[in-house]
A = this chain, B = another copy of it.
Amino acid sequence: MINRVVLIGRLTRDVELRYTGSGTAVGQFTLAVNRSFTNRNGEREADFITCVIWRKSAENFANFTHKGSLVGIEGRIQTRNYDNAEGQRVYVTEVVVDNFSLLESRNQGEQRANQGGYQANNNSFGGNNSQPQAPTQPRSQAPQGPSNPAPTQNNSQPASNPNDPFAANGDSIDISDDDLPF
C-alpha cells in the first residue's frame, strides 16, 4: 500500500539527535510548513509536523541543518502509541523521513543569521539515506558509527516521559529498537 509524503518547510528548532541502546542514530525535528492560503483574518498559518529520521541520514541531517533551515523532505506517515507515566495511552502521528534536500546554501544561512538572527552553519546538498555530498564543517561531530552509542544530552525540554523515545529526559536514554523503521 502506498504512503507517501513530501514537505517543504523550516525547522522550528535544531534537530534532536539521540542513539538507541544498540547505537542507532535517530533524529527528531518539527517542520513548520506555511499554508498556501490565508485564514479568514488574512493570516497565513502553518502546520507543525513532527518528523523522525534514522541512521546515517539522521546524523547528516542534524549536522547540516539548524533552527530555521529550509528543507524538502520525503517520507511516510507513521502512527504509534505508548502508555505514559500516568498510564494513559498516547497516540503519535509523525513523518518518517527517507530522503531530504537542503534548500539553503551555507552562505544564505549565514546571511540570514547576520541579518536577523541566530548562528548559521548549514550547507547546501541534496541528501538521501546513503549518499550525501561532500559537506564542509559539520555543526557537531557525531559518534563514529553505531559502536559508540553516546546519547546526546538534551535538557531543554520541560518534563519527560520514560516511555516516549522522544520525550527528552536529559538523563539516561532509552530508545527501543522497536521503533526502528524496519
| A75-119 contact mask (Cβ, 8 Å, vs B): 1 or 0 | 011110000000000000111000101010001100100000000
CB of A47 within 8 A of CB of B79, answer yes
User: Are A4 and B74 neighbours in the complex by a CB distance under 8 Å?
Assistant: yes
Q: Point out the residue from B3, B111, B127 that lies within 8 Å of A47, measured CB to CB.
A: B3
Known A-B contacts A79-B47, A93-B50; the reply to A2 vs B74 at CB < 8 A is yes
Residues on the B chain within 8 Å of A74, using CB:
2, 4
We find that the number of chain A residues with CB closer than 8 angstroms to chain B is 47
Interfacial residues of chain A within 27-78, with CB under 8 A of chain B in the complex: 33-40, 44, 47-50, 70, 72, 74, 76-78
| Residue among A8, A74, A94, A128 having the largest count of chain B Cβ atoms under 10 Å | A8
Query: What residue of chain B has the Cβ atom nearest to residue A37's Cβ?
Result: B182
Name A's interface SS.
strand
Whether A36 contacts B126 in the complex (CB less than 8 A), given A1-B9, A72-B72, comes out as yes
Neighbouring B residues of A76 by C-beta, 8 Å: 47
Residue in B70, B94, B107, B133 whose beta carbon sits within 8 Å of that of A103 in the complex: B70
Which residue on B lies nearest to A5, using beta carbons?
B5
A residues in contact (CB < 8 Å) with B? 1-9, 33-40, 44, 47-50, 70, 72, 74, 76-79, 93-95, 99, 101, 103, 107-108, 111, 126-128, 130-131, 133, 178, 181-182
